[in-house]
């Protein structure tokens, strides 16, 4: 029930004000824009929410704006999206056992490379 009320309030707000997604402060708006860049459009082959104006993207943007305004954290919003649209909706891969290799190996390669360079100095 609460969902509907909140949604109706925001919908009527957006009809009357000049801003489509209203936020109470600049920080929230920045958060919103950042999230839109980091979340995949559910229906497009490739592309973030910010680059898509498919109806489902618009719906999702609206929902995310609502969630920000109800003080949900970024993590809660991301969880909402991944539960429904899959882990691959986030452009930031998770940081878990399965992805340690992804996040750490570049630095490992760099350190190993520099180490061998110092060792040999005759490349």
Partner residues linked to 90 by β-bridges: 39
Q: Does 47 bind other proteins (CB under 8 A)?
A: yes
Chosen residue from 10, 28, 31, 56 binding other proteins by CB under 8 A: 56
Q: Does 109 bind other proteins (CB under 8 A)?
A: yes
Q: Does 83 bind other proteins (CB under 8 A)?
A: yes
Measured CA to CA in angstroms, residue 114 lies from 28, 35, 100, 101, 121 at distances of 42, 36, 21, 19, 10
Residue 73 CB, shortest distance to other proteins, in Å, is 17
Q: Does 13 bind other proteins (CB under 8 A)?
A: no
DSSP 46-110: S-BGGG---HHHHHHHHHHHHHHHTT--HHHHHHHHHHHH-GGGBSS---SGGGHHHHHHHHHHH
Positions touching other proteins (CB under 8 A) are 1, 3-4, 7, 14-15, 17-21, 29, 33, 37-38, 40, 42-48, 50-51, 53, 55-56, 58-60, 63, 83-94, 98-99, 102-103, 105-106, 109-110, 113-114, 117, 120-123
């Amino acid at each position: 029930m609460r969902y509907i009320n909140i949604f109706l309030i925001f919908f009527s707000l957006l009809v009357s004000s000049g801003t489509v997604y209203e936020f109470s402060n600049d920080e929230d708006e920045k958060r919103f824009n950042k999230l839109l860049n980091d979340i995949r459009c559910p229906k497009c082959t490739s592309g973030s929410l910010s680059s898509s104006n498919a109806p489902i993207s618009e719906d999702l943007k609206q929902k995310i704006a609502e969630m920000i305004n109800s003080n949900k954290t970024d993590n809660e919003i991301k969880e909402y999206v991944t539960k429904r649209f899959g882990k691959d909706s986030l452009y930031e891969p998770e940081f878990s056992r399965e992805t340690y290799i992804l996040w750490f190996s570049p630095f490992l390669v760099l350190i190993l490379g520099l180490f061998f360079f110092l060792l040999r100095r005759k490349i």
